[in-house]
Amino acid sequence: MAGVVALGELPSGMESPLDEWAQEELASLDFGHRARNRRAVRVLDAMVRRPLGTPCATFPRAALRKGTYRFLASRHCAHTGLIDAMGRATARRCQGLPFVLVAIDGSSAAHTDRDGTHGVGSIGSRRSRGLGIKIMAAVAMTLDGVELGLADLRLWARPMTPDPVPHSARALEDKESHHWTACQHAFERRLRAEGVEARPWYLMDAEADALHVLLRGLEGTRFTVRMTHNRNLAARTLDRSDRAELKVLDALAGQPPDGTMWQHIPHPHKGPARTACLTVRWLSVGVRLREQRSGRLAGNVPLTVVWVREEVGVPEGQEPLEWLLWTSAPVRTFEEAVWVVRTYGRRFRIEGVFLGAKSGACAVERAQLKSFEGLARWITLGLSVAVRRQSLLHRSREEPDVPADVAFSRDEIDGALLLYRLHRKNAEQPGETPTLGRMVTLIAELGGYVGRSSGGPPGLVNFSRGMDRVETAVCLLLAQRQGPTPPSPDGIG
């Protein structure tokens, strides 16, 4: 249609300026040529503005789409370079913080490969014969749970057939579980390289209850891990000279509760969100760790086990909440035990990142690229965008009264207000600056959010749908600012 400019189809010289966040995220990127670095920033910038899952949908303009496919196929632009630049940007954002929470978890991105030539591997159970890429991500957060960025990311293709060597006989580097500590070491190197003194506090699920993870407690590493194994305790810690070893659950079984706490459960498996009353027990112990293969003593690690159970008030049809947590954080009082539990609750933020990357905000699984490296780059960029969008949501809840221009451009604010005034005539005028909390809420309403009666604050899906509409309005504002589009030589508008 003549005179109408679609998003991604702006004439040359009328593209919206690059998002400051995209430039900051890849500031230390070095692909050996400035043009490659600029292309990576432009791709990330387009994805954060309009994350529609595939390069074709994200880049309607033929020239930009062609450049993106060249970037994804280039042998000079490894996804590990993107990860390192993003990790260093995250490390810089930790400057001035005493602690930074780092949630680490695994996931996978499904992919269709009928010919078996795309370099992907097995995901899920072997019986299901699913294909895709395995993911281990580390997301850094403030103590309030506001995402700072990707601390590290590991992507790999699992072999289609099981390893003939038994798991217990394999070296650590040949096991997928080594990624738990590999992510930690990589982020710590980046903190040192950027001169940042913030101390990481790692939050991990039950799969991380492994020897090499717990042994990091001897190095002074702070972590909280959900317990899987009822491990042996050092007898001297419990003053039990009559037994050489004692299990942790045996030690806790006869201990009376230390107190109760209330914990909000936002997304239980069944039923609406609720607030649970939890009974808390905690015990500082020495954990006796032995190597699985040889049985040799690997070390006695001083840890605290915190046990919380929902013993009363469980709604009918719902499972009671129960966590058994190992932590290397010092716990001397009931209040410190509660702090460990509340901190561990921040771990679930990374599950929202995976959801946003795969379906809610970026839909990276739609991109049916034909090489492992191209898929890995697209997934890396998609995860970064998902962290960015979720960070906006959580920051709007923790700092709702700061001006919206700390996170949004002037054009984004005006575009959102123009659209919103179509529905609410008494809304703010373009040119005004609402608060961050107000801005996020009205964008989510543009995406279908109906208020807290829907079950809580704005979520990632509605916010992302609203942002898609806002970015269309931004492009129209930019086109209007440039004036009428000159007629083409053949007279066709």
Contact between residue 411 and residue 419 where contact means Cβ atoms under 8 Å apart: no
Long-range CB contacts (within 8 A, 24+) of 450-458: 455/272, 455/273, 456/266, 456/273, 457/393, 457/397, 458/393, 458/396
- Given this model, what pLDDT does residue 394 score? 92
- pLDDT for residue 53: 83
Written as six digits, the tokens of 305 are 């086990």
Give domain limits for the chain. 1-77, 96-161+173-354
Residues 6+ apart with CB under 8 A from 212: 172, 177, 178, 180, 181
**Domain 96-161+173-354 CATH superfamily:** Transposase Inhibitor Protein From Tn5; Chain A, domain 1 (3.90.350.10)
Question: Cα(219)–Cα(325) distance, rounded to whole angstroms?
Answer: 19
Other C-beta atoms lying within 10 Å of the C-beta of residue 297: 10
The 10s digit of each residue's pLDDT in 46-57 is 888 888 888 888
Which residues of the chain fall short of a pLDDT of 50? 1-16, 236-238, 240, 490-493
96-161+173-354 matches 1-77 in CATH topology:
no
Quote the pLDDT of residue 9: 40
pLDDT digits (tens, 9 = 90+) for 145-203: 999 999 999 999 999 888 777 777 778 888 899 999 999 999 999 999 999 999 999 99
Q: Count the Cβ atoms, other than its own, within 10 Å of residue 455.
A: 12
Which pLDDT belongs to residue 282? Answer: 94
DSSP symbol at 255 = P
pLDDT of 464 reads 85
Quote the pLDDT of residue 37. 94
Looking at residue 421, what DSSP letter applies? T
**Distance, CA of 147 to CA of 101 (rounded, Å):** 9
Quote the CATH superfamily of domain 1-77.
Tn5 transposase; domain 1 (1.10.246.40)
**What's the chain's length in residues?**
493
Place of tokens 């001169």: 195
Our separate counts of H helices and E strands in the chain read 15, 12
